[in-house]
Amino acid sequence: MQHRDIPKKTKEDGDDLKFAPYASRVAQGILNYSQDETFIISLEGEWGSGKTTLINFIKEDLKNKRDKVEILDFNPWLITDMNQVVKLFFDELMKIILSVTTKAKKDEFKKDVKKFIAAIAPDSVSIGITDAIKAKYNIAKRFQDEDKDNLEKIKERINEYLKGLEKKIVIIIDDIDRLTDKETEFIFRLTKGIADFDNLIYILLYDKGVVSKSLEKFKSENGQKYLEKIVQYPLSVPKPHKTTIKNLLFKELDEILAKLDAENVKYIFNKETWSQVHLVIDKYIKTVRDINQIVNIVSFEYPIIATEVNFTDFFIISLIKLKNHALYELIKNKPSDFFIYKYRGNKEEEEIKIIRDNFNENLKEFHDFRDLLEICFPIFSDYSYRTIGSHKTKYIGDINYFENYFSFSISDDKISMKEYYTLKEKLLSSDFEGFKEALLEVDKQQKSQYFLNMFYEFKDSMETEEIENAFYNTLKICKLLKSENISSYFNASYNYKNFGYSLLLEHKDVDDFLLDFYKNDNDVSFIIKVELLKDINEEIAKEHSDKKVIVANKTLEELNKIVKEKLENITLSNILEGLHPSYIVYIYKDFEALLEKLSTELKDYIFKDSESFFEILKVFERVSKISSSNKGVYDKHSIAKDNLSKLIDLNEVEEYIKNLNVSTLSDEENILLSYWNNNDRW
C-alpha cells in the first residue's frame, strides 16, 4: 500500500478524491491554448488539499500529447541560492528547447541564453541573509557601454527563437508556499518579468493565503491583488464532497482495524457510539491532510492499546489533540473538569451542575468542541446512552480506563488515576500492611508525594472510620518514606506527618480519638506522636489559625501530661534501640519534661569502657549537608555536642578522650574521634 502522505503519481494509483475528470479538463484547456504569449496558470489550495496529486494527473494527460507539449518540472524549494535558481531554471529550459527544435542557430541561441543569465542573475544570496540585503543585479557590471547588445535585444532574440517552436513548453513550479518571502517574490518576478517568453505556459502551485502574506512584505500593495496582476488563469483545487472525504477516512480506518482482526486483537468498537461521530466529523476532517494526520496517530498508537480503550473515544481524543492541543492537555491534566470521578448518590446532580457551569463560564474558548465532548463525556449532553463503569466499553470517562488514552503522553514520574484509586482504597482501609507495600513501591519511584498531592486535590468527604484508618496508616508509614519532595524543601516523611495532622481537622470526636491514640500502643513512632502534639499546641497558641484542632482544654492538658511522662521515662535502652536522642533533647523543654533518668543512665554507661563510650558517640553522630563552591554539596559528620551537653558534662568527655590510647583504637573509633573534633553544624 502506498504511504498515505505521498501524493498519487498516476490515476492508476487511485483517485480517491475524484480529481481525474477535472485534471483532464485542465489538461485539455492547456492543449487548446494557441496564443504565443506567456500564459500563467495558478493551482491554488491549502497544504494537504491534493495540489500535487492533481498536477500529477494533469501531467499524465499532457504526456499523452507529447506532440503538442513538453513538460518542465522545476522545484526552487530544493535550492538555497538565487543565482543557482536562475542558472538551473535556464539550463533546464534550454535543454528542453534544444531537444524539440529543428531550427538552426542553436549555438547563437545558447550564447544568448548564457548572456541573459549573466545579466539577470542576482549576486549569490543564501537563506538566512537579512531582509535589509537586497538582490543586486549585475547588468551594469557585465554590460559595458561599448557592448552593442543590450538586455532587451538579447531577450527579443530568445523570444523570436521560441516563437518558432512547434510545441508549447509547460513549466510546473510546485511548493512555492514553502519558500522564504524573498524567494517567493523572486519566483513571481521570474515568471512574469524575466522569463516571460513566448510559447511558455507556467503552472504555479501554492497556498494563496501563505503566498499573499509573503508578497505583502515586498510589495506596497495587497498580496492577493498583486497575484491577480501576475496570474492570468487562477484555478483552485476542487473541494471534494464531504462524502468523498468521509469515505476516504473510513477506508483508511478500516484498513487499520482489518489488520487487528487478522492478528486476532480484541479491540472495542461500538457502532452506536461511532454513529455519533458520523454526525460531526465533517466539521473537523475537511482535507486529505486532515485525514493523514488523524490516521497517522491512530495507526501508530491505537494498535498498541487497542484492548484497553474504546475506539470511538480514542479517535475523538486524538482528533482533539490535533485540532486544539490546549483542550487535549486540559482533559489529560484536569479530568475533573469533564467527568465525575466517583458518583455519590444525591451529590451527583450538584456535581454535574458544577462541571457544566465551569465549562460554560470559564472554558468558553473550547465551546466549538462541545459536540465532540458530548460524545466522550455524557455529562455535557442531555441525551446520552452511555453506561460508565462497564469493563466491556472502557470509555474515556471511566476512571479505570481514562489514563489508558494518554499512555503516550504521561511521564513515568506521575501517578496514574488507576494507581491513585488503588492507593486511596488501601489508605482508607484498616490493612496497613497492604497500604505499606503499595506506597513503598511508589516511594521507590519517587512518586509517593504525587499521591498525596492528588489526594488533596480529589479528596471528598470521608466516614469517621476512613479518617481514622488514613490517620493511623499515614503516621505509621511516614518515617519509612525516602523520596524527596518534588516541589518543596520538605521530604515525603514530613509531608505525610502533616497530612495526618490535617485528618484530625475532619474528625467529629477528636478528643476521645486523640486520648485513645496517645494512651495506647498502636505502632506509631513515639517521635511522630511528640511532633504531632507539638504541632497541635503551636496552632492552638496562635491567635488566628485555620489549622487549629478543636479539643477541650482538659483534653489538651491530659495529652501533654501523657507525652511529658513518656519523655521523662525514656531510658538509655530506648536510645540504643533506635530512639533518636537529638530530637528528644531538642523537644523535652516544650513539654516541661526533665531528663534526669536518661542523664543518669548515660553517665553511668558512657565511661564504663571504650566500647560503651564509642557506642554513645555513634548514637550522637550528626550528618549535615554542606554546600561549597569548591566541593559542591557533601555530607559533613560531627558529634551533636549541643544535644549531648544537655545530658552530660562535656568536660568529662574531653578528659576521657585525652586518656584514650589512640594506637589501640579501631579505624571506626578513630573516625568517630575525628568527628568529635569537627566543628558542629552551626
What is the identity of the amino acid at 505?
Answer: L
Q: Which of 260-264, 434-438, 445-449 has maximum average pLDDT? A: 434-438
- Integer distance in angstroms from the first to the last C-alpha of the chain? 73
Which parts of 200-338 fold into alpha helices (H)? 208-216, 223-230, 242-262, 271-280, 288-305, 311-323, 325-333
**H-helix or E-strand spanning residue 668:** helix 667-677
| DSSP states along 287-326 | SHHHHHHHHHHHHHHHHHHGGGSBHHHHHHHHHHHHH-HH
Query: At residue 541, does pLDDT exceed 60?
Result: yes
Reported as a single tens digit per residue, the pLDDT across 291-307 is: 999 999 999 999 988 88
CA–CA distances in Å: residue 324 to residues 49, 124, 348, 368, 603: 20, 42, 29, 10, 72
**H-helix or E-strand spanning residue 362:** helix 348-362
Bigger pLDDT: 19 vs 521:
19
Rounded Cα distance, 616 and 293, in Å: 70
Per-residue pLDDT, 411: 57
CATH class of the region 11-236: alpha beta
Question: Cell numbers of 104, please?
Answer: 538552426
Q: Give Cα 347 to chain centroid, integer Å.
A: 34
What does the chain come to in residues? 682
Dihedral in degrees, nearest 10, Cα atoms 13, 18, 20, 23: -120
Beta bridge partners of 69: 168
Q: Strand 233-236: give its sheet, edge to edge.
A: 69-74, 168-173, 200-206, 39-44, 233-236
The three-class DSSP label of residue 165 is coil
Reported as a single tens digit per residue, the pLDDT across 188-201 is: 988 988 889 999 99
43 exposure class (CB count in 10 Å sphere: 0-12, 13-18, 19+): buried
Per-residue pLDDT, 137: 38
Per-residue pLDDT, 384: 61
Rounded Cα distance, 568 and 35, in Å: 112
Query: At residue 54, does pLDDT exceed 90?
Result: yes
What is the identity of the amino acid at 140?
Answer: A
Per-residue pLDDT, 629: 66
SS3 readout for 393-404: CCCCCCCCCHHH
Average pLDDT, the chain: 86
| DSSP states along 56-82 | HHHHHHHHTTTTTEEEEEE-GGG--BH
Query: At residue 124, does pLDDT exceed 70?
Result: no
Query: At residue 126, does pLDDT exceed 70?
Result: no
Query: At residue 483, does pLDDT exceed 80?
Result: no
Per-residue pLDDT, 107: 83
Question: Cell numbers of 180, please?
Answer: 522564504
Q: Which of 209, 208, 368, 365 lies closest to 283, judged by CA?
A: 368
Residue 522's pLDDT band, with cuts at 50, 70 and 90, is confident
* Residue 220 · residue 60 · CB < 8 Å: no
Per-residue pLDDT, 488: 47
657 φ, ψ (degrees, to nearest 5):
-65, -40
Query: At residue 56, does pLDDT exceed 80?
Result: yes
Per-residue pLDDT, 24: 95
Question: Cell numbers of 390, please?
Answer: 462497564
Dihedral in degrees, nearest 10, Cα atoms 603, 609, 613, 614: -160
What's the average model confidence in pLDDT over 537-556? 92
Cβ atoms < 10 Å from Cβ of 22: 16
Query: At residue 489, does pLDDT exceed 90?
Result: no
Per-residue pLDDT, 412: 64
CA–CA distances in Å: residue 76 to residues 83, 289, 407: 11, 23, 42
* Residue 444 · residue 481 · CB < 8 Å: no
- What contacts 485, CB < 8 A, 6 or more positions away? 449, 491, 492, 495
Reported as a single tens digit per residue, the pLDDT across 398-435 is: 887 888 898 776 556 667 667 888 899 999 999 999 99
Query: At residue 272, does pLDDT exceed 60?
Result: yes
Give me the long-range contacts of 574-580 (CB less than 8 A, separation at least 24).
575/602, 575/619, 576/615, 576/619, 579/526, 579/527, 580/527
Q: Residue ranges of the domains in the chain?
A: 11-236, 242-407, 570-681
Query: At residue 142, does pLDDT exceed 50?
Result: no
Q: Give Cα 190 to chain centroid, integer Å.
A: 44
323 φ, ψ (degrees, to nearest 5):
-90, -30
The three-class DSSP label of residue 576 is helix
Per-residue pLDDT, 138: 45
Question: Cell numbers of 662, please?
Answer: 589512640
Q: Which of 443, 452, 526, 491 lies closest to 625, judged by CA?
A: 491
Query: At residue 652, does pLDDT exceed 90?
Result: yes
Bigger pLDDT: 130 vs 312:
312
Which parts of 478-595 fold into alpha helices (H)? 492-504, 510-519, 526-541, 553-568, 572-576, 581-587
Cβ atoms < 10 Å from Cβ of 492: 24
- What contacts 491, CB < 8 A, 6 or more positions away? 481, 483, 484, 485
Rounded Cα distance, 28 and 3, in Å: 30
Per-residue pLDDT, 484: 62
83 φ, ψ (degrees, to nearest 5):
-60, -45
Question: Cell numbers of 216, please?
Answer: 505583502
CA–CA distances in Å: residue 395 to residues 75, 309, 317, 318, 405: 48, 7, 11, 14, 9
608 exposure class (CB count in 10 Å sphere: 0-12, 13-18, 19+): exposed
